[in-house]
A and B are shown apart, each in its own frame.
Chain A
């Protein structure tokens, strides 16, 4: 269980995290979504006691992180996978880590096996690929068998096999009753992995709800229509506008339609004899997310000028 109460962090004039209050429950995967610069990493750093909040609290199991004597047994975290000394081997890194928290050193071999790094354990971390570095970071997160796991952008640099593996790992960790908190800017990934979604933008909470609810709560789906015949497409557009749909032309061969279902658009195309190469709805988490964060195609005041401090 992670509890944030009115958590606030300012860097100079910009507010990176703005009175964020949240409860992240055990037994499910909670996705932490937001565009780059929304304050995700800063929030995670405050949970881990690395950054000091300007006000508010971040508690793990009811206690501030800095008060833990054996923090790795409480919270496993994957932050920047590159945060391993490049000259140190993966095994030495994990051994030092285990000793700091009184974890038996044999556990190092167990987690190396879990992440599939047994053979590369003797290589200096600087020579590991990005994906292997990520696996080493995950091994570190699992080392203390913690009940709370935090992953910051875990699929970065992983190949498709690795992405699937990480997805299954997170699901199985949640199924074991652990709290799993995963940040990502990839909505598609979260749609596959998360049960609960926390969406933030500009440091503020935008949504905290089950994935299905977030999708259902989004505005009517957009239908994307593609045709190789621009003239016929224009006829279809006119017809749709005549039926009170909103139509946006995307290039010569595509339309974005709102206020009309896929079935309606398909029927009309058939009626008008328009040859179609594509017809699909964009009803997805992505759509809902873009709406929430104000960066959607509807362009509800897409703000830029992000304020999160540079990811080091």
Chain B
């Protein structure tokens, strides 16, 4: 311990400070993300969930194909499609990662530090959004590849491995995961707690759409189609019955933007 303070930076250098701003905020959030163990557990869980779910789905498909002639392509499935179907469950591990970047700030009290470093609420949230979107997009690409690889192994002759198609599935999956993660981030900033955010997401993604579809009534189905989980799957599966597949992605993006705006409003209005 020294009793004197090293005098450095501004006062000695005499030039205006540079750096910081949005790039600095992003670098800071990036450093924070990778410096806690929980992020690695989330990534590991997502990989295990993807491998297990894709394996199981692929087994179903292979067992369901009773036609012995693979030349009859009606039972042959794109391997990327298995990864896409597996994401309905796997997404929750990725969502957990996005969730932790914001709710752990409130549970550990670090939000007060973060807002001292980056007092602009918009810049802070934008930095987190960038990091979360980037990391979950990359994770999505890897998960898409992993799911397809498992599918290739399990499906065998019932799998169709076309590079462009498989990459397309993986990119779509990555895009969906990035958007739903940003949605999680915004919701976490608005609700501030992990439990409330997770329950809300689970309802939005899994429970409510299922309930709405039970009576099979037009208006209820339409509402279910507009929820982010349904819209995402609609996009990922390339369905175009209710609306074009790409609109599904736009709907998810809309949810993400709305959640971010809600989070920003709460950050600006409420005391940290």
Contact = CB atoms under 8 A, between A and B. Distances in A.
B17 A70 contact: yes
Contact of A71 (B36, B117, B272): B117
B24 A102 contact: yes
B53 to A, nearest CB: 28
B163 interface: no
A83 interface: yes
A50 B119 CA distance: 8
A202 interface: no
Given A73-B10, A86-B108, A145-B9, A101 B32 contact: no
Interface residues of B, number: 42
A102 B6 contact: no
B65 interface: no
B5 A50 contact: no
B5 A72 contact: no
B125 to A, nearest CB: 14
Contacts of B115: 49-50
Given A101-B117, A145-B8, A96 B3 contact: no
Contacts of B110: 83-85
A87 B36 CA distance: 5
A96 B7 contact: no
A77 interface: yes
Contacts of A45: 112, 271-272
B271 A50 contact: yes
A168 B113 contact: no
Contacts of B28: 96-97, 99-100
Interface in B4-45: 4-11, 17-21, 24-25, 27-29, 31-32, 35-38
B9 A144 contact: yes
A89 B28 CA distance: 14
Interface residues of A, number: 56
Given A101-B117, A102-B17, A172 B112 contact: no
Contact of A165 (B1, B9, B113): B1
A100 B2 contact: no
B240 interface: no
Which of A77, A102, A144 gathers the greatest number of chain B CB atoms within 10 Å? A102
B120 interface: yes
B108 A51 contact: no
Contacts of B254: none
Nearest to B114: A100
Interface in B73-128: 104, 108-110, 112-113, 115-120
Given A88-B32, A100-B20, A101-B20, A50 B112 contact: yes
A151 B11 CA distance: 22
25 contacts: A45-B272, A50-B115, A50-B271, A51-B271, A52-B269, A70-B19, A71-B117, A71-B118, A79-B116, A80-B112, A84-B108, A88-B36, A89-B35, A96-B32, A97-B113, A99-B28, A102-B17, A107-B9, A110-B8, A114-B5, A116-B2, A144-B9, A145-B7, A145-B8, A145-B10
Interface of A: 45, 48-52, 65-73, 75, 77, 79-80, 82-89, 92-93, 95-97, 99-104, 107, 110, 113-116, 140, 142, 144-145, 147, 165, 168-169, 172-173, 176, 312
